[in-house]
Structure 1
Amino acid sequence: MTPLDSFLVRAALAGIGVALAAGPLGCFVVWRRMAYFGDATAHAALLGVTLALALRLPIVLGVTVTALAMALTVSLASGRAYAVDTMLGVASHAALATGLVALSLLHGVRVDLSAYLFGDILAVTRADLAVIYCGALLVTALVAWRWRRLLLATLNEDFAAASGVEPRTERLILTLALALLVAVSLKVVGALLITAMLIVPAAAARGFARTPEAMAVIAVAIGAVSTLLGLGGSWTLDTPTGPSIVVAAVLCLVAGTLFSSLRAAERR
């Protein structure tokens, strides 16, 4: 018997894998105020599930294609006919509703809807772990490769352009990374909670970090700790695992906020 034979070990490894990619990427989502953009992309995952089931394709492939298509569509259409927040709101809820309706219309296919909405981390297999870590490492490598350029484009687009960095290209790279993260995270926390795992650890890391790089590393650590605490709490209290992980991340955010407040008070 090996450690991977335990479903709890597989679940913990899956959550840590997602945290590895969500930490750095979540920092950019927080810095660029892209939370609603992340929602729209994550909600499109249900359309991808329907597409994959209807065409008998791998779920990860269907989700990646659909999430990327949604992200690119919103990026290109925002600010033209409607305000950005309006476009994101329409896209987010339209994708979620359409995905739910489309899933109900699939005949002869039995679907555990709650697993796609809230995740089913306890059912992660070895094959799922391979997909999660391949996707997470790809996202992490992509963000690390473009770190300086992404940071410049985030801080000041005019300065970035003057330095030879094309802000639109960096936005597209973030869009691609976000779509990949949604695809590998769907089974862990579900379409409704993916954005929470992007935003909450990154926001919690702000209270402890002094540099952007430190914030990214701390966000990964908080995501990993939240996974372990959420799994432990779910096992002890018999609560849903995906939401329990998010609650643990929120508690880390509260702790980070208190830490920041105490440190600011000491300086006065």
Structure 2
Amino acid sequence: MTLLDDFLIRAALAGIGLALAAAPLGCFVVWRRMAYFGDATAHASILGVALALAFDVSVFGGVLVTALAMATTVSTLSGRGYAMDTLLGVLAHTALALGLVAVSFLHWVRIDLMSYLFGDILAVGHMDLAVIWSGATATLALLVWRWSALLTSTLNPDLAHAAGIDPRREQLILTLALAVVVAVAIKVVGVLLIAAMLIVPAATARAFANTPERMALIAAAVGVLSVIVGLRVSFVGDTPTGPTIVTVAAGCFMVASLIRGLFDHRHLRSHKEDS
């Protein structure tokens, strides 16, 4: 029996792979205020699952193509008179509804819809693990390669133009990375919780980071910690694993917010006493 034959170890490795990719990407989602954009891309993945099963192709491929199509559609329509939140709301819920309707027609395929909605990390196999880590590695490599350009276009588009950086191209690169993470995350935490794994660790890290790079590293650490603790709590308490991981991440965010609030209060009081 090899090390990877233990389902808990496979689950932990899958969750860690997702956390390492989602955390730095989630920082850009937070900085650009794209939370709903990530949610819309995740919702569209159910339609990708349905299409992949209908045409008997890879679920990862189907989800990736659908997520990219959703992201491209949003980017194309966003500058044509539509309010972004309205556009995302319409497209996200339409794609999710179409996916659920399409799944209902697949009578010849046995589908555990709950595993796609909330994830089934404990059922991750060797091939799933290879796909997750391949996607995570590709996403990290893309972010490292374009980090400076992405950061510049995020903080100041005018400065990016002056430096010869095309903000729309960087937006497209970020969209591609987001689609890949959604495709690999569906097995781990499911459609409804993907956005949480992108946003919550990054939001937690924001309370302690004073540089973008430090925020990305802290977010990755929070994500990995949430996976490990969430798996343990789920195993001991017999709770759904994906939601438990997200709950632990939310707990980290609340603790971080409390610590930050206490620190700011003490700093303010000390400043008043000094003056």
TM-score bucket of the superposed structures, by smaller chain: over 0.9
Q: What residue is the counterpart of 1:131 in the other structure?
A: 131
Cα offset, 1:163, TM superposition: 1.3
Give the alignment's Cα RMSD to 1 decimal: 0.9
Runs of 4+ in 1 over 6 A off after TM superposition: none
Tell me, which stretches of 5 or more residues in structure 2 are unaligned? Answer: 269-275
Q: Helix, strand or coil for the counterpart of 2:208?
A: coil
What are the Cα deviations for residues 83-117 of structure 1, in whole angstroms up to 9, with x where unaligned? Answer: 11100000111111110010011121110000000
Q: What residue is the counterpart of 2:272 in the other structure?
A: none
Q: What residue is the counterpart of 2:140 in the other structure?
A: 140
Distance in 2 between residues matched to 1:52 and 1:81, nearest whole Å: 33
For the 8 Å contact 1:38–1:195, the answer to whether it is kept is yes
Distance in 1 between residues matched to 2:262 and 2:130, nearest whole Å: 42
Distance in 2 between residues matched to 1:266 and 1:139, nearest whole Å: 40
Which one has a bigger Cα radius of gyration? 2
Q: Helix, strand or coil for the counterpart of 2:186?
A: helix
Q: Helix, strand or coil for the counterpart of 2:249?
A: helix
Q: What residue is the counterpart of 2:179 in the other structure?
A: 179
Q: What residue is the counterpart of 2:220 in the other structure?
A: 220
Q: What residue is the counterpart of 2:204 in the other structure?
A: 204
Aligned 1:1-268 pairs, distance under 5 A: 1-268=1-268
Tell me, which stretches of 5 or more residues in structure 1 are unaligned? Answer: none
Distance in 1 between residues matched to 2:74 and 2:83, nearest whole Å: 11
For 2:250, the aligned partner's letter is: V
What are the Cα deviations for residues 188-237 of structure 1, in whole angstroms up to 9, with x where unaligned? Answer: 00000000000000000011211100000111110000001111111111
For 2:42, the aligned partner's letter is: A
TM-score of the two chains, using structure 1 as the length reference? 0.98
Aligned length: 268
Distance in 1 between residues matched to 2:126 and 2:208, nearest whole Å: 34
What are the Cα deviations for residues 163-202 of structure 1, in whole angstroms up to 9, with x where unaligned? Answer: 1111000000000000000011100000000000000000
Identity of aligned residues (%): 64
What are the Cα deviations for residues 105-134 of structure 1, in whole angstroms up to 9, with x where unaligned? Answer: 112111000000000000000111110000
Distance in 1 between residues matched to 2:265 and 2:255, nearest whole Å: 15
For 2:253, the aligned partner's letter is: L
